Structure 1
Amino acid sequence: MSQTQQWLIPQWPGLPDNVGVLSTTRRGGVSPAPYDDGMGGGGLNLGTHVGDQPHNVAANRSILRHMLPDDPVWLSQVHGTQVVNVAEVGPQQVPEADASISTRAGKVCVIMTADCLPVLFCDRDGKTVGAAHAGWRGLASGVLERTAEALRAAGAGELMAWMGPAIGGYQFEVGPDVMQAFMAGAVSDSDTRHVEAAFSTVAGKPGKYLCDIYGLARYLLHRAGVREVHGGEYCTVSNSARFYSYRRDGITGRQATLIWLK
C-alpha cells in the first residue's frame, strides 16, 4: 500500500515549515473485521475502547509511531471542553480532555474520531499547535473557543486551523435538541443566522434536520478570531473505503488526526 493511500496529509496553505500534521485512515493496519480496512485487509484502528484486541491496537499504534517524533499524548475524550498541555502530561497518563496544545518540539497532539470533527490549530509563527475533538456536544459547549484561548495564553500569535475528516452535512441527521444547543449559544442576530444556515429540514421527517458540522465549526472559529480555516471536504460516512464511521457501522474503529512542532 502506498503512503498516499494509507495516510491523509492535510492540504494546509501557509502551514509553517516546523509544524508536522497527519491524519490516518482505516488502511494499513492489522485489525480484523469490523475494524478492518473495508477491502479484506487489516485496519488501522487506534482506539483501545471499541472492542478490538489490545495487541492489534498496540501494533497499529506502533505503525503510526514510525511517522512521528514521539508517542502521541492520547486523551480520554468525553465530548467536553477540557484542554491540556501535552508537555505537562506524564508517561502513560491518559488525561480526560477533548483538546490538547503544545509549545514544545517533538510533543504530539492527537484526537481520535469516527464521525466527530477533528480540528488542528497552529499559529503563523510556528510557536504553538493544538488539536480539538469537536463532536456536536463539544462544539456547542465551546471546545474550539477554549482551545484557541489556551493557545493564545501559551503565546500564540495569529491562529489558523484545519478541519479533518468528519460526517458530512448531507449525512448528519439530528433532532431539534442539537439545533437548540447551538441556538442557546447564539448571542447576536449574526449567530442566529449562521446557526440556522447550518440546519436544513429533512423531507418527510418532521422534527429532523441535516446538520452541517463543518459550517458550524467554521463560523465558531471565525467568531473566536481564527480567520483562516482550511479542510472540511471529507465525509466519513460516505467514504467507507477510507474512513471509520460510527454512524454508518456502529461497531467500528477510530482514526487519528495529529499535529506537532518539529
Structure 2
Amino acid sequence: MHEGGGSTSDTRVHLRHRADLPSGVSVAFTASATGNLGLHVLGTSDPQEHRRRIERGIGLDPGSLLFLEQVHGTDVVLADEAPLIPMNSSAEEERALAPVADAALTKHGRPLAIMTADCLPVIVTSSNPLIYAVAHAGRQGLLHGVLPNAIESLRAAGGTDLQAWIGPSICGRCYEVPPDMAHDAEAKLPGIAVKTRWGSPGLDLPAAAEKQLRSLGVEVHRKVINECTFEQDDLFSHRRAPGQGRIAGLVWRRGHQSASSRTESMTDEGDVLT
C-alpha cells in the first residue's frame, strides 16, 4: 500500500495521506493548499476550478467526482444515480445537481468526495473495489447515526471486510461546547464528552467515531485521526477562521483515467504519482 500527500501548483494537486489499496481503490485527503472546495463558501477563489484540478490530478474526467450538498443529516444516497456535472456548468448549476445528503455509497466505483472544515470526513472501503462510501460526521450526524446508516447501506450493497479512514477534524482538546450539549451528547454516545485543553467541556468526535465504527465491525486506520483542523494552519477550520473554505476526503478507483487526463499528483514525500 502506498501512502502519501503533497503540494499544489497549476498542474499538480496536493493530497495528504494517500493510500493506494491493492484492490485498485485510492483514498486521500486534501488540505487548504488545494484550495476551497465548497461552492457555498462565498468570497473565496474558484472552488469549481479546484474541483476540476483534483479530477485532472487523479486521472478522472471533469465533473465525475461526486460532491454532496451536505446538511448535517444522516441520509445516505446512491451515488450511481447522481448525474455527472456537464462541462461549463456554473457553480450554481453544479451545486443544484448535488444530492442533498451527508453520506454517499457507490456500487459501481463512482469517485466520491466529502467536504469538511472541523467535522469528520469518513471514507469506508470494502473488499469489492466497486463498493465504497463517504460520510460527513459532524456532531449532529455522529449523534444521530450517519455512520451506522452508511455501514448498513454498504453491507446491504454487498460490501464486506470494511475499512475506514477518519480524516482531519477538530480534536477533543479543541472542540469546546456548552455543558448541556456535552451532557446530552454523552447520554447518546458514552465516552464522547471530554475536557478541552482549557479545562472546559468538550467533545472528542474522532474518538467517538472510531469507537462506533469498531463496534460495527469496521477496521479503522489511525494515521490521520490525530490531525486537528483547529490546531493546523494548513487545514481549513470553521471555528478558527470561518468562511475560509472546505477540505475533502476522496475515494476513487485507479486505472479508469480519461484519455485526456495525464496530469501528475504530488505526494507529501515529494514523489510524483502518474
Match of 1:65 among 49, 55, 60: 55
Aligned with residue 182 of structure 1, among 173, 185, 200: 185
Contact 1:50 1:252 in 2 (8 A): yes
**Deviation per residue, 1:79-111 (Å, 9 max, x gap):** 000111110112342111001111213x11111
Pick from 75, 78, 83 the counterpart of residue 85 of structure 1: 78
Shift of residue 184, structure 1, vs aligned partner = 3.7
Structure 2 gaps, min length 5 = 9-13, 86-96, 255-274
- Could you say which residue in structure 2 is the equivalent of 1:52? 43
Matches within 5 A, 1:126-165: 126-165=129-168
1:8 has 2:15 as partner: yes
Tell me what 1:251 maps to: 243
Q: What is the percent sequence identity of the aligned residues? A: 35
**Alpha carbons of 1:27 and 1:202: their partners in 2 closer, same or farther (altered >3 Å)?**
closer
What is aligned with 1:235?
A: 228
* Distance in structure 1 (CA, Å) of the matches to 2:43 and 2:245: 8
Distance in 2 (alpha carbons) for counterparts of 1:135 and 1:82: 13
Instruction: Give, in whole Å, the separation in 2 of the partners of 1:235 and 1:201.
Output: 13
Secondary structure of the equivalent of 1:179?
Answer: helix
Aligned-partner SS, 1:27: helix
CA offset digits 1:152-198 (Å, max 9, x no partner): 01100121101101012211111234323433435xxxxx3x33xx4
Q: Structure 1 201/49 Cα, relative in aligned 2: closer, same or farther at 3 Å?
A: closer
- 1:4 maps to amino acid: G
Instruction: Give me the CA root mean square deviation.
Output: 2.2
> Deviation above 6 Å: which 4+ runs of structure 1?
none
Contact 2:147 2:213 in 1 (8 A): yes
State the TM-score, normalized to the length of structure 1: 0.80
Whether the aligned pair in 2 keeps the contact of 1:136 and 1:178 (CA below 8 Å) is no
Aligned length: 230
Letter aligned with residue 134 of structure 1: A
CA distance in structure 1 between the aligned counterparts of 2:17 and 2:202, rounded to whole angstroms? 26
Q: Which of residues 21, 26, 51 is equivalent to 2:27?
A: 21
TM-score under structure 2 normalisation?
0.76
Q: Counterparts of 1:166-245 in structure 2 under 5 Å?
A: 166-186=169-189, 192=190, 194-195=191-192, 198-200=193-195, 208-230=200-222, 231-240=224-233, 242-245=234-237
